C-alpha cells in the first residue's frame, strides 16, 4: 500500500497531476526525506475541487441521515483496513509511537461512528413545529416549521499534532460530513503520506456508498497558498482549523474580508491554567506532582490542552516542587512532530528565561537529539507575571510555568487571563464551596472546567466542550470535539405554510423518522 503513494491531491474522484513540488514527508528524528515528492495542487485544480464541492452540495445535503451515516461508517471501516499502513507511515512522518497512532486511529474511527449514530437517530436537527391556527384573533397563525440545515462546502485544515483525529478524516471532517457539508481538506505538510493513506480510504468509502463526486477532496500545497485560495473562494461556507494563533487569525482575517464573510472555527492556543489550593496539597504533594508531570509531558507536550501555567500559593508546596524537579530532571528528551515545532519550542523556552523574575525550576538533564525537546519547568512570582503579558503565551511542547502568589493574588489574576480551552482547580470540596467567585472567574475564561484533574485526555462525548473564548479559539460558541461540533456547520431554516409532502421528512406531520421534536399545538 505505502509503496503506491502518488504524492498528488484528490480532486473529487480524480487525482491531480499537480505542478510545483510542495515538499516531502520528513522523519523528525533523523531528518530523512521520505518518498514520494508531494506536488501542490494548481490553481485550476483547486478551482475544480471547489466546483465539484459546490455541485455535490445540493445532492449530498439532501441525502438522509441514514445514507450519510453509511458513508461515515464506510470511512471508518476503510481506515481500519489500512491501520497497519497508517502506523508504518505515521511513525516515520510524526515520530509518534505505535500505541499512540493505533489509539488515535481508534479515536478517529470512533468519532466517525459517533457522528453516524447521531445522524441515524436524527433528533440533532432541532425540529420545531408550530401548527397553523386559522381561527386565531386578530390574525390567523400560519404553519411554521424549522430545522437545522448544512451551510455548504467546508474547508478543513489538518492539524500537525493530531495526524489522524484532527486531520483528513478527523473531527472537523466527520462533523461537517455528518451535517451534510462537502469537505475540502488542506493537508498538513508534516504528515503528507499519512494524509494520502487516509484520503484513499475516504475516497474508497465514497465510491462504495455511491456518494456524489466532490463530497470530498484533499489538496496539497500548504495553508498559506492553497489554503488561503480555498478560504477566499465563494464556494466555501465555513472553515475548520487547528493550529497556531498566527495561522488561525490569518484565516479569520481572510474570512472577514470576503464579499460574503464566513464563520471560521480556529482552535489556536491555550495554556490551560491550573489553580492549586492548599487543601489539594494536603492530600499528597508528590502524587499531585507526578500527575502534573505526566500531563504536561504527555505526547512530548504537544496537546492543545497541555497545562502550561500553574498557580501555586506561596509558602506551601515545597514537596510538590521537589518532586516535580526530580521528575523533570530525570525525564528523557522526546522527539517533536517536526522541525518548525522544535524551533518554536526552543525559541519560546529560551525567550522566557530572559523575562524579569523568571527562574528555571528544573530541566531534563538528558541530551536532546535532532528535533527533540527537553522537559522544562519555570517559576515566577505573580507580581512579575502580571508585569509581562508575554508570560501568558503558549510554549508548545513539554514546558510549564509555575506562578507563585497568595491565594488572594491568584484569585485577582484569573479574570485578567486570556481565553482558554480549559482550567483546572485542585482543592478540597470545602475550598471549592467557599471559592465560588474564583470558580466563576475560571468558568468565564474557559470552555471546560476540571476539578482535581488534568486537562489532557479529551473525552469524545455528548457533553465535551473543546472550545473557549478567544484566543484559545476564534469562536467560543462552538466545540471541535464531541457531538455538539455538528452545530458549527449548520443554520436554522423555516418553512411556512408548506404542504406536508414538500417538507423535509424531519418536519412532516407523521414524523416518519421518529425523532424528538418541539411541537406547539
Q: Mind telling me the catalytic residues?
A: 267, 304
Q: 282 burial class (0-12, 13-18, 19+ CB within 10 angstroms)?
A: exposed
Is residue 499 involved in binding its own copies (CB under 8 A)?
Answer: yes
d(CA 449, CA 439) in angstroms, rounded, equals 9
Answer yes or no whether residue 477 interacts with its own copies by CB under 8 A. yes
CB of residue 54 to its own copies, shortest distance in Å:
9
- Asked if 412 touches its own copies (CB under 8 A), the answer is no
For the chain, the straight-line distance linking the first and the last C-alpha, in angstroms and rounded, comes to 59
- Residues of this chain, 414-473, that bind its own copies according to CB under 8 A: 419, 429, 432-433, 437, 439-441, 443-444, 446-453, 457, 459, 461-465, 467, 469-471
Angle between helices 98-121 and 171-179 (to 10 degrees): 10
Please give the distance of CA 245 from its chain centroid, rounded to a whole number: 13
Q: Which stretch binds its own copies (CB under 8 A): 11-19, 82-90, 348-356, 490-498?
A: 490-498
Query: Does 116 engage in binding with its own copies (CB under 8 A)?
Result: no
Point out which span in 126-134, 313-321, 350-358, 364-372 binds its own copies (CB under 8 A): 126-134
Q: Which stretch in 5-13, 64-72, 127-135, 182-190 sits in contact with its own copies by CB under 8 A?
A: 127-135
Q: Which residues of 192-216 are buried (b: 16+ CB within 10 A; e: fewer)?
A: bbbbbbbbbbbbbbbeebebbbbbb
Q: Is residue 232 involved in binding its own copies (CB under 8 A)?
A: no
- Which cell numbers in the block locate residue 424? 483546572
Could you say whether residue 505 binds its own copies (CB under 8 A)? no
Which residue of 149, 323, 404, 508 would you call a contact of its own copies, by CB under 8 A?
Answer: 149
Instruction: Examine residue 19 and tell whether it contacts its own copies (CB under 8 A).
Output: no
Q: Rounded distance, CA 215 to CA 53, Å?
A: 6
Among 263, 273, 301, 375, binds its own copies (CB under 8 A): 263
Minimum CB separation of residue 457 from its own copies in Å reads: 7
What string marks each residue from 317 to 356 as x (binds its own copies by CB under 8 A) or -? ----------------------------------------
Does 102 help bind its own copies (rule: CB under 8 A)?
A: no
According to DSSP, the residues that pair with 39 across neighbouring strands are 21
Determine the Cα–Cα distance for residues 199 and 188; give it in Å rounded to an integer.
13
C-alpha cell recorded at residue 188:
498538513
> Does 129 interact with its own copies (rule: CB under 8 A)?
yes
CB of 487 to its own copies, least distance (A): 8
Task: Retrieve residue 127's grid coordinates.
Answer: 425540529
Q: Could you give the CA distance from residue 210 to residue 60 in angstroms, rounded to a whole number?
A: 10
Q: Compute CA distances 28 → 41, 162, 304, 371, whole Å.
A: 25, 15, 20, 6
390 counts as binding its own copies under rule CB under 8 A:
no
Q: In the bound complex, what is the minimum distance in angstroms from residue 411's beta carbon to its own copies?
A: 13
CB-based contacts of 485: which residues, under 8 Å, 6+ apart? 171, 172, 175, 478, 479
Q: Which residues contact 274 (CB under 8 A, 6 or more apart)?
A: 292, 307, 309, 310, 311, 423, 424, 425, 426, 454
Count of residues near its own copies by CB under 8 A: 70
Report in angstroms how near the CB of residue 167 gets to its own copies at its nearest: 22
Residue of the chain from 479, 486, 506, 508 that contacts its own copies (CB under 8 A): 479
Q: How far is the CB of 140 from its own copies (least distance, A)?
A: 10
For position 181 contacting its own copies by CB under 8 A, the verdict is no
Residues in contact with its own copies, shown as a per-residue x/- string from 58 to 97 under the rule CB under 8 A: x---x-----------------------------------
Is 475 a residue that touches its own copies (CB under 8 A)?
yes
Cell digits of residue 232:
477566499
Cβ at position 494, least distance to its own copies in Å: 4
The yes or no reply on residue 508 touching its own copies (CB under 8 A) is: no
Interaction between residue 491 and its own copies (CB under 8 A): yes
Q: Would you call 396 helix, strand, or coil by DSSP?
A: coil
Indicate whether 139 belongs to the interface with its own copies (CB under 8 A).
yes
CB nearer to its own copies: give 201 or 446. 446
CA distance 11 to 404: 54
CB of 315 or CB of 499, closer to its own copies:
499
Pairing of strands 264-267, 238-242: parallel
Binding mask 42-61 for its own copies (x = CB under 8 A): ----------------x---
Applying CB under 8 A, among 81, 390, 406, 520 the residue interacting with its own copies is 520
Which position among 246, 367, 408, 502 is part of the footprint of its own copies (CB under 8 A)?
502
Q: What DSSP letter does each residue of 405-421 carry, written as one string?
A: E-HHHHHHHGGGSPPEE
Which residues are bridge partners to 376 per DSSP?
363, 399
464/469 Cα distance (integer angstroms)? 15
| C-alpha to C-alpha distance for 86 and 196, rounded to whole angstroms | 10
Q: State yes or no: residue 98 binds its own copies (CB under 8 A).
A: no
Cβ density class 21-33: b for 16+ within 10 Å, e for less: ebbbbbbbeeeee
Would you tell me which residues interact with its own copies (CB under 8 A)?
A: 58, 62, 128-130, 139, 141-142, 144-146, 149, 151-152, 252-253, 256, 260-261, 263, 419, 429, 432-433, 437, 439-441, 443-444, 446-453, 457, 459, 461-465, 467, 469-471, 474-479, 484, 490-499, 501-502, 518, 520
Amino acid at each position: 500500500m505505502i509503496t503506491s503513494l502518488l504524492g498528488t491531491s484528490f480532486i473529487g474522484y480524480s487525482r491531480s497531476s499537480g505542478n510545483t513540488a510542495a515538499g516531502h514527508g520528513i522523519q523528525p528524528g533523523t531528518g530523512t526525506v521520505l518518498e514520494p515528492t508531494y506536488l501542490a495542487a494548481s490553481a485550476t485544480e483547486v478551482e475544480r475541487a471547489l466546483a465539484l464541492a459546490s455541485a455535490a452540495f445540493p445532492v449530498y445535503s439532501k441525502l438522509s441521515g441514514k445514507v450519510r451515516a453509511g458513508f461515515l461508517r464506510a470511512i471508518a471501516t476503510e481506515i481500519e483496513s489500512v491501520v497497519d499502513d497508517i502506523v508504518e507511515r505515521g511513525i516515520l512522518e510524526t515520530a509518534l509511537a505505535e500505541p499512540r497512532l493505533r489509539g488515535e486511529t481508534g479515536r478517529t474511527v470512533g468519532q466517525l461512528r459517533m457522528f453516524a449514530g447521531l445522524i441515524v437517530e436524527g433528533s440533532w436537527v432541532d425540529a420545531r413545529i408550530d401548527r397553523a391556527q386559522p381561527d386565531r384573533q386578530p390574525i390567523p397563525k400560519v404553519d411554521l416549521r424549522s430545522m437545522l440545515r448544512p451551510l455548504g462546502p467546508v474547508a478543513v485544515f489538518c492539524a500537525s499534532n493530531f495526524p489522524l483525529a484532527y486531520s483528513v478524516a478527523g473531527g472537523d471532517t466527520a462533523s461537517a460530513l455528518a451535517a451534510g457539508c462537502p469537505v475540502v481538506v488542506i493537508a498538513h505538510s508534516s504528515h503528507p503520506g499519512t494524509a494520502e493513506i487516509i484520503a484513499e480510504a475516504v475516497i474508497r468509502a465514497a465510491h462504495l456508498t455511491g456518494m456524489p463526486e466532490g463530497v470530498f477532496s484533499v489538496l496539497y500545497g500548504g495553508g498559506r497558498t492553497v489554503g488561503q485560495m480555498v478560504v477566499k473562494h465563494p464556494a466555501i461556507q465555513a472553515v475548520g482549523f487547528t493550529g497556531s494563533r498566527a495561522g488561525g487569525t490569518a484565516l479569520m482575517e481572510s474570512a472577514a474580508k470576503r464579499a460574503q464573510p464566513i464563520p471560521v472555527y480556529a482552535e489556536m492556543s491555550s495554556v490551560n491554567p491550573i489553580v492549586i489550593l492548599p487543601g489539594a496539597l494536603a492530600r499528597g504533594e508528590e502524587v499531585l506532582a507526578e500527575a502534573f508531570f505526566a500531563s504536561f509531558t504527555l505526547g512530548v507536550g504537544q496537546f492543545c490542552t497541555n497545562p502550561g501555567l500553574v498557580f501555586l500559593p506561596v509558602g506551601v508546596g515545597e514537596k510538590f516542587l521537589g518532586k516535580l524537579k526530580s521528575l523533570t530532571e530525570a525525564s528523557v528528551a522526546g522527539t517533536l512532530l517536526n522541525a518548525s515545532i522544535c524551533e518554536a519550542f526552543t525559541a519560546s523556552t529560551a525567550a522566557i528565561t530572559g523575562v524579569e523574575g523568571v527562574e528555571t525550576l528544573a530541566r531534563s538533564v538528558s541530551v536532546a537529539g535532532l528535533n527533540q525537546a527537553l522537559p522544562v519547568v519555570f517559576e515566577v512570582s505573580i507580581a512579575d507575571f502580571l508585569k509581562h503579558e508575554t508570560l501568558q503565551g503558549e510554549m508548545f511542547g513539554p514546558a510549564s510555568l509555575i506562578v507563585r502568589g497568595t491565594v488572594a493574588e491568584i484569585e485577582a489574576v484569573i479574570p485578567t487571563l486570556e481565553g482558554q480551552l480549559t482550567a483546572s482547580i485542585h482543592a478540597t470540596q470545602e475550598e471549592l464551596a467557599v471559592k465560588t467567585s474564583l470558580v466563576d472567574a475560571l468558568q468565564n475564561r474557559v470552555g471546560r472546567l476540571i476539578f482535581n484533574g488534568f486537562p489532557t485526555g479529551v473525552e469524545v462525548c455528548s457533553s465535551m466542550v473543546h472550545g473557549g473564548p478567544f484566543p484559545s479559539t476564534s469562536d467560543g460558541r462552538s466545540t471541535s470535539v464531541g457531538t455538539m461540533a455538528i452545530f458549527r456547520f449548520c443554520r436554522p431554516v423555516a418553512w411556512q405554510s408548506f404542504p406536508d409532502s414538500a417538507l423535509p421528512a424531519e418536519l412532516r406531520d407523521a414524523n416518519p423518522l421518529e425523532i424528538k421534536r418541539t411541537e406547539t399545538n
